[in-house]
Structure 1
Amino acid sequence: MDIEHSILDVFSNATAKYADRPAFTCLGHTLTFGDIDRLSANFASYLQNKTSLKPGDRIAVQLPNVLQYPVIVFGALRAGLIVVNTNPLYTPRELKHQLNDSGAKALVVLANIADVASEVIPETGVEQVIVSEIADLHPPLKRILINSVAKYIKKMVPEFSFANRVDFRDAMSVGASQKHQDVQRTPDDLAVLQYTGGTTGVAKGAMLTNRNLVANMEQVREALGDSMREGEEFYIAPLPLYHIYAFTLHCMCLFSTGSHSLLIPNPRDIPGFVKTLKGKRFTGFCGLNTLFNGLMRCPEFADLDFSKLHTTCSGGMALTRATAEKWEKMTGCVVTEGYGMTETAPVVSFNPADAVQLGTVGVAVPGTEVKVIDENGNDLPNNTPGELCVRGPQVMKGYWERPEATADTIDSEGWLKTGDMAVIQDDGYIKIVDRKKDMIIVSGFNVYPNEIEDVVAAHPKVAEAAAVGIPDERSGETVKLFVVKADDALTADEVIAYCRENMTAYKVPKNIEFRDDLPKTNVGKILRRELRDEEIKKNGEPVSA
């Protein structure tokens, strides 16, 4: 697959061709493609004329699904910057690591979560913080109403302070008064640093180039085929745009085809989510297993209008047969499951809508090669389980400033080792059978035992700790932590409270078991697999395994 154009080429073509069509809607307000073009130009102008940022510098974007997200991301790319997608749920420790590791010189953050950033910014190289409120791109009266309710009635905006703060609306006003110049980038230039645990628990930046993202956009469009009609699609966007799965679908594939995305800022509020969908005749839905289950448990969901829904995409975690069958029965739409990872921008394989095989993640998308290997790196025949390897134009350039980790993951021939165990059937369909890594998947989010254990080990009353995933009906898996005490006074509540202070909520263990010792190899490495096997005997395989 020969990619000769950049994300900005895709952007320019879409905004010119579909200028008057709706692009993104959120909280009752819609921005057209023309609006996105104009507003992102204003933001690019501010970055170029009023900051010290230069092409190639990194800008961290820490926003949920609000209208500002596409404006800021496209504006940053137009200014030649590299976008560092940043999870709004990060704790101070996690945010500080990402800002310092990426070398971000600027941060755009929602006021609702800015208190976390305010704790760590002095310890980073961030020179400029741009703060936005949730309805900053809404019409004046509605903006004032929504922002005031969030701040004064619902008390959703904690106190925070930055020495280098600029308000987003002020930045946009200044930018609108001056001209900008789109910075042309080559297909091999970096566009996004997407952080992931990779093969260990240390968060690393996957370097995604313009070529990676444009190639995967075209691969997904081809895989979806005629179901993605230009200028006609209306997709629901509950998954966070800062996650590569939703980013590639909504900001690349759907944007390039003139499609309309309905942004859901808080999909965890299921009743509010369903209320937003009422009266909407959407054609596509991007989600994952736990979200589908949550929606279907809401009585009002079954009353929605599914008459136009023809595509439901599932990724991020394993889709269970029961969920897929219930969704199809309730909505009349089959669920098409795919497989991918941050390092592949992200889609590797996808189930064709007219030939879905439940229990598989479909066939490799066009231009992608897959194979499985044994522990010695030897290729294995079809129907034999081994580590899944991927080669294609969507495979990342490498890990940001980590050449050794890159070499461990991508070989000299361009094959990326996924760390997942799979079987490739004779018909080309891929079945994920196990995880080589000890990674835990909680509601589609990757949780790495190393990170949890490192945090808990810092507690003065903890001698040793090991984290494993255990089955959970709602989230697929939850974290169980085995702890050897250094102080007999240590309690489970104390461990959980400590984790909550230092980790994002979905990483916090739900179960604590104290032991006198932990199983180890003869060189002292803790055998997590042995602990997990004990849990499987008691509870069965995790839903997401």
Structure 2
Amino acid sequence: MNANLFATFERIALAAGDAAFLDTDTGPGLSYAQMLALTARYANTLERLGVRPGDRLAVQVDKSVQNFCLYLAALRMGAVYLPLNTGYQLGELAYFLEDATPHVFVCAPAGHAAKSALAAQHGVAHTLTLDEDGGGSLSALAAGERDRFATATLAADDIAIIIYTSGTTGRPKGAMLTHANLLSNGRALTKLWNFGAADVLLHALPLFHAHGLFISSHCALLSGSRMLFLKKFKAEQVAALLPRATVMVGVPTFYTRLLDLPAFDAASAANMRLFISGSAPLLAETNRAFAQRTGQIVLERYGMTESAIISSNPCHGERRIGSVGLAIDGVEVRIADADDMALPAGAVGGIQIRGSGVMKGYWRKPELTAAEFSADGWFRTGDLGTLGADGYLNIVGRAKDLVISGGYNVYPKEIEMAIDALPGVLESAVIGVPDRDFGEAVTAVVVCRGAPLDGAAVIAPLKTQLANYKVPKHVHFVAELPRNAMGKVLKNVLRSTYGGDKTA
């Protein structure tokens, strides 16, 4: 039996035929039959360019129907899809191209010359373009290809996607998710969240992140349902489209911005059966305000790049505000101490997981992969939490020094190195502070060298070096950083000091 995830999608799509698959806010959508034809043309194009099963396909483009079908085409032909944040600058891209060694790089037309030259330096055979409207050199090549393609036969543990996530050294590491990982997770969520062919998923998430690329969309594909495919989240537009949808999967920012609309009320959400939030903590006050306004509690879930979704509040049953719910089918969760010994219900400890959704490992980092698993095979998430006797999981913090801002992982060391290199900076510390919109806001605490600086002198140069989500939202200046007797910066003190201060 073919374990290729797309083979499952293909069976469902063939049965759906001319039923709508994607509707867009800017132009024509696609039926399931048209999706099969377009993915075939892209797969044939990539194959003609020399891409073979197991080869990497790096993609840094704006969200579009064609972008999503390119991802599906990669699955179909057995290539390994490598999504890259559209905000990455050239210096950041160089690392991914060198580490992943893709055969083809697809980028937006803007900056194509510089990116093509960079890709060539790192041995990438072809650099193609795809614009936000689906045009570009890739689509031009695909236009003449056949709309039939024999879906590649793959093993369950063949890699489908590599998604880079921050590491403890600040250097990103590529989590390898297999076809079996994605199918198991997708089936569990489709069942848990009660997706059916009559559902309409409002999709306003980016496609370079696990949340938008497959956590939400795979539920639609596995249920033969339809997506309202928006290029980005705009609160007014989303509120206007909710009467046409039944499910929305989003991040906390979506819900805070909907609540900012005075006209958003229970009538706006009357056709919706389910609102889901993840990728960052949803403040309890936001969820309570949303429930008061709409009569619906947002369903919170917990996941990470290395395993997609781990736990979720139930669709039917108690949605416990402040909890990330129960372990999903195929995943086990335990709380363990520093020696990987399981702790009793209610105890605070490290959240560890195992099961069919957990990644194969980190790309070309076997030692690091081995170090992240316990001797008895549990993956250490780096998060701290409690597990109740009833199975509900609560996250209380992170053992790893990550900031999650707007659903994106930010590793402070990378930002600190960039700030410390700026003229007039002696040293810095980067923390996350609670933020209504972003879950956590990246915040820098800076010690100047000589003459004092202002926030603009720090933020402006960082915007040319780093993706926007990594750039600090707030900058504070101090005479010295708090340290313990061993000289380690006390970031808990900084979080306590600046956690309630939103001034830049």
TM-score using structure 2 length: 0.93
In structure 2, relative to structure 1, the CA distance for the partners of 1:502 and 1:59 (3 Å cut) is: same
Is structure 2 residue 209 aligned with structure 1 residue 243? yes
* Same amino acid, percent of matched pairs: 31
RMSD over equivalenced CA pairs, Å: 2.4
- Give unpaired runs (5+ residues) of structure 1: 138-165, 541-545
Instruction: Summarize deviations over 1:497-528 as a string: whole Å, max 9, x none.
Output: 12111111121112223333323344443332
Select 1:69's aligned residue among 67, 70, 77: 67
Q: Distance in 1 between matches of 2:386 and 2:244?
A: 38
Question: Match for residue 143 of structure 1?
Answer: none
Select 2:84's aligned residue among 83, 86, 91: 86
In structure 2, relative to structure 1, the CA distance for the partners of 1:63 and 1:298 (3 Å cut) is: farther
Letter in 1 for 2:138: F
Question: Match for residue 139 of structure 2?
Answer: 169
Instruction: Summarize deviations over 1:132-160 as a string: whole Å, max 9, x none.
Output: 222237xxxxxxxxxxxxxxxxxxxxxxx
In structure 2, relative to structure 1, the CA distance for the partners of 1:99 and 1:204 (3 Å cut) is: same
Select 1:259's aligned residue among 201, 225, 233: 225
Secondary structure at the counterpart of residue 306 of structure 2: helix
Q: Distance in 2 between matches of 1:460 and 1:89?
A: 24
Select 1:228's aligned residue among 195, 218, 236: 195
Q: Distance in 2 between matches of 1:31 and 1:301?
A: 30
1:256-335 matched pairs, under 5 angstroms = 256-267=222-233, 269-275=234-240, 277=241, 280-302=243-265, 305-335=268-298
In structure 2, relative to structure 1, the CA distance for the partners of 1:521 and 1:329 (3 Å cut) is: closer
Q: Distance in 1 between matches of 2:152 and 2:80?
A: 12
Instruction: Summarize deviations over 1:367-413 as a string: whole Å, max 9, x none.
Output: 21111112232221000111100111100011111122212212243
Q: Distance in 2 between matches of 1:511 and 1:265?
A: 28
Q: Distance in 2 between matches of 1:115 and 1:434?
A: 43
Question: Match for residue 463 of structure 2?
Answer: 500
Secondary structure at the counterpart of residue 431 of structure 2: strand
Letter in 2 for 1:79: M
Instruction: Summarize deviations over 1:117-144 as a string: whole Å, max 9, x none.
Output: 357334433221221222237xxxxxxx
Q: Distance in 2 between matches of 1:70 and 1:237?
A: 12
- Give unpaired runs (5+ residues) of structure 2: none
1:110-509 matched pairs, under 5 angstroms = 110-111=108-109, 114=112, 117=115, 120-136=118-134, 167-176=137-146, 180-224=149-193, 227-229=194-196, 231-267=197-233, 269-275=234-240, 277=241, 280-302=243-265, 305-344=268-307, 346-353=308-315, 354-488=317-451, 490-509=453-472
Letter in 2 for 1:194: I
TM-score using structure 1 length: 0.86
Deviation at 1:449, TM superposition (A): 0.6
Secondary structure at the counterpart of residue 232 of structure 2: coil
In structure 2, relative to structure 1, the CA distance for the partners of 1:114 and 1:103 (3 Å cut) is: same
Is structure 2 residue 9 aligned with structure 1 residue 14? no
The number of residue pairs the alignment matches comes to 500
Q: Distance in 1 between matches of 2:465 and 2:126?
A: 25
Instruction: Summarize deviations over 1:455-480 as a string: whole Å, max 9, x none.
Output: 22232433321101123333232222
Matched-pair contact (CA < 8 Å) for 1:88–1:113: no
Letter in 1 for 2:39: S
Matched-pair contact (CA < 8 Å) for 1:281–1:305: no
Is structure 2 residue 478 aligned with structure 1 residue 515? yes
Letter in 2 for 1:239: L
Instruction: Summarize deviations over 1:210-259 as a string: whole Å, max 9, x none.
Output: 111111112212322xx312x21101011113211222334322111101
Instruction: Summarize deviations over 1:262-281 as a string: whole Å, max 9, x none.
Output: 111121x4334445x17x42
